[in-house]
Amino acid sequence: MLTVFDNIPARERIIVALDCGIEEAFDLADKLQGKAVWMKVGMTLFYANGPAIVYALKERGFKVFLDLKFHDIPHQVEGAAYSAAASGADMLTMHTVGGVDMMMAAQRGAERSAAEYGHEVPATLGITVLTSMNDAALAETGVSRSMADQVVVLAEQAKRSGISGVVASPKEAARLREILGPEAYIVTPGVRPAGADKGDQSRVATPADAFAAGASHIVVGRPITQAADPAAAFEAIAAELA
C-alpha cells in the first residue's frame, strides 16, 4: 500500500534513539547534525534534564520524538500531553492499554498546547506491545491473545481515538498498515541492520524490511549510537535504504 510518507526520503524517516546521558547525547547530536533529521528523547534523558533537552535539540535543527509513554487517567494524560507539546516536540507517545478515553485526552492536550504556543500539533502515537516482549512475556501479563492479535486490537483502539498512529514492531507493520490506512504513522523500534546484535529486543527487522512492511519511521539506537563512528553508521543505513 502506498502511503503519504513514500515521497519523504527514507533517511529523513530514521529516528536516532538517544538513550544516554546529556553529554553523550549532545556529542551524538553534533556528529549527526546535517545527516539525521530525527532524534528520540526517552525517559532516561528527559527525566534527568526535562524540556531543556528538547529545546536544545530543536535549536540544533532536529525534529524530536519525545517518547515518554504516558499511561494514567485521562485528566493526567491530557495535562502531560499539553506540557510535552509545549516543549516543541514533534512526536509524543502513550500506552494504548490506557484506553480510548485516555488517548483522546492526550490528543486534546496536544492540540490545545500547539494552539496556545504556536507549534505544529505533534504526531500522537500509541504504544501497542513493547518490542522487548515475546509471546511468553505477553502471556505472563494475563493477555490470552496472540501477540499479533493483541497488537491489532490495541491499534484499532488507537484509530478510534483519533491519534496519529502507533508504535509497533516491524513484524506487525504490514498488517497495521492495512488496518490503519495510508496516512497513519507506524513507527517501528526493534530495527537492526543485518548482522547487528539484537540486544534486549525480541521482534526485530532490518531497516529495509521495516519500510517495505509499511513503517512510516524507524527507530535505530545502539547500531548508530554505540558505533565507533556514529555518522558513518547512520550513512551506511541511509545508503542501504537508498
Write out the catalytic residue numbers.
Answer: 69
Which 3 state secondary structure label does DSSP give 133? Answer: coil
Report how far residue 147's alpha carbon sits from residue 189's, in angstroms, rounded to the nearest whole number: 16
Distance CA 78, CA 94 (A): 11
Report, in this order, helix, strand and coil percent for the chain, each rounded to 5.
50, 15, 35
For the residues of 95-131, what is the DSSP string, one character each?
EGGG-HHHHHHHHHHHHHHHHHHTPPPPEEEEE-S-T
Q: Which of 175, 179, 204 is nearest to 190 (CA)?
A: 204
d(CA 138, CA 146): 8
Q: Extract the C-alpha cell encoding 200.
A: 534486549
> How would you class 108 by CB atoms within 10 Å of its CB: exposed for 0-12, middle for 13-18, buried for 19 or more?
middle
